[in-house]
Amino acid sequence: MTFTPPSGAELAAIAQRYGLGLGAPDVEWYRELIAGAVTSYDVVERLYAARTLRLGEPPSRDWQWPAEGANELGAWYVTADLTEAAAGPLAGRRVAIKDNIAVAGLPMMNGSRAVEGYVPRRDATVVSRLLAAGATIAGKAVCEELCFDGGSHTAKTGPVRNPWNRVKTTGGSSSGSAALVAAGDADMALGGDQAGSIRIPSAFCGTVGHKPTHGLVPYTGAFPIENTLDHVGPITRTVRDAALMLGVLAGRDGLDPRQRAPVPNDVPSGGYLGELDAGVASLRVGVLTEGFGIPGLSQPGVDAVVRGAVETLRAAGADVSEVSVPWHLNGVHLWAVIGTDGAFGQMLEGNGYGMNVPGLYDPELIAHFARGRREHAAEMSITLKMTTLLGRYSLDQHGNQYYAMARNLALEMAAAYDAALAQVDVLVLPTLPVVAFDIPTGAQSLPEIVATSSGLMPNTCPFDVTGHPATSVPAGLHDGLPVGLMIVGRHLADGLCLRVARAYENAVGGFPVPPGS
């Protein structure tokens, strides 16, 4: 790698692109000036190379491609058996790691040919914490391409199939994580969530998925999409396991710019287990009106199952009331602008990490992805191509004006949820408006495929924009497929969300599992 000074022709092209009004003599003067200025780039390269030598090569860890016939769901990217501590709260528990999260020495694809072949040198913070807690890393779970789709059909390794019905989607983008936990192939999994990607597959697969308060769990070492939307958290079979895992994952690491105040340095005393079984007798549960009956989307049977779950909470002693937050209906539109302009600027143009924030970067991954993105652009998913086209157009025509509008409006939307949560302890609503649908086969039109995935987000993505914690638990079945109940709390009230989820789990005697798992 060498920073080659630009030629006169290259500078002339840049000057023309930005309308700098430079003639040939001006370009030559700037070329000579810049040739001297690149010395700093060379110094940084030498200093970083010395640092990289100190880090050494990626550790030698055993891993395997999934054995033939042993990956029926298409959910494993690679398998492994990594344990570093004999004791700890997660000792003996097999954990699948979403394949956008770095496990040093194991290949990482992030569902995309643009990332394929990259091998991280260091573990993500969450992986280090799992290993220190005694967990066994059982492998990397397939995720959707660059984690940018709510279905389970965009990973270049092939579709991930729902253990409840093999022709149905698992939802995404943490598709493999939820499928493996639901099928019993892993005890726990790490997922990521920018628009619902922990909660969507959890709702479709019948697992517990918790999206933490934004910044509570460090994102360091996970492939970013957009700093203000990025979350990582647990997917499990039981609420207790989700609370146990969150207690291991949470807390500052000093490297993640998402972890601003008031994210605590340490988890609460006793982790998230201390109040887990306190029940709901003293709690006020607000049923979010706007989360039901979404025109053109909500299946009446799904709404009915969730309202039945709410009645179970009422019977368990909760004080239940209807709550209206009209801003909720606009959440998907705020997300669409942030998730298009922001993700285009950071994930695509910024090669994942972007710039302008402190924290730990991964220069090798940035360079690898920059090359892969150019070489495999034509192979990218429909949603990524659409984001590239619209994001580039928006920024070319309007700068980041619309992104700025949406982020400012997000403050108002967050305040509206906060006002509702001052009147009740948690909000409840369907995680998704539908049950799992058939995996697209290619017979559908492009608009139909995009509409299918984007139609999953209206209830999940607003809470990525505002950063409120949200837990999805199985509410029951509709047409033989799982339905998700979502529980949303105040910022940093993750334990309260899990407490309500646990009370529901206890009231129904546990959650159903797929046939044969």
Active site residues: 98, 173, 197
Whether the CB-CB separation of 231 and 500 falls below 8 Å is answered with no
Strands (DSSP E) contained in 68-121 are: 76-83, 94-98
- Distance CA(112)–CA(108), nearest Å, equals 9
Find the angle CA(150)-CA(170)-CA(460) to the nearest 5 degrees: 40
- Distance CA(223)–CA(225), nearest Å, equals 7
Strands (DSSP E) contained in 433-504 are: 470-478, 481-488
Phi then psi for residue 18, to 5 deg, are -100, 5
- Distance CA(19)–CA(312), nearest Å, equals 64
Residue that the structure tokens 């999940």 belong to: 460
- Distance CA(434)–CA(446), nearest Å, equals 20
Each as own residue / partner, the long-range contacts of residues 128-132 (CB below 8 Å, 24 or more positions apart, any chain) are 129/248, 129/249, 130/90, 130/95, 130/190, 130/248, 130/249, 131/82, 131/83, 131/84, 131/85, 132/84, 132/85, 132/88
CB atoms within 10 A of CB 267: 17
- Distance CA(467)–CA(331), nearest Å, equals 12
- Distance CA(144)–CA(157), nearest Å, equals 9
- Distance CA(302)–CA(20), nearest Å, equals 57
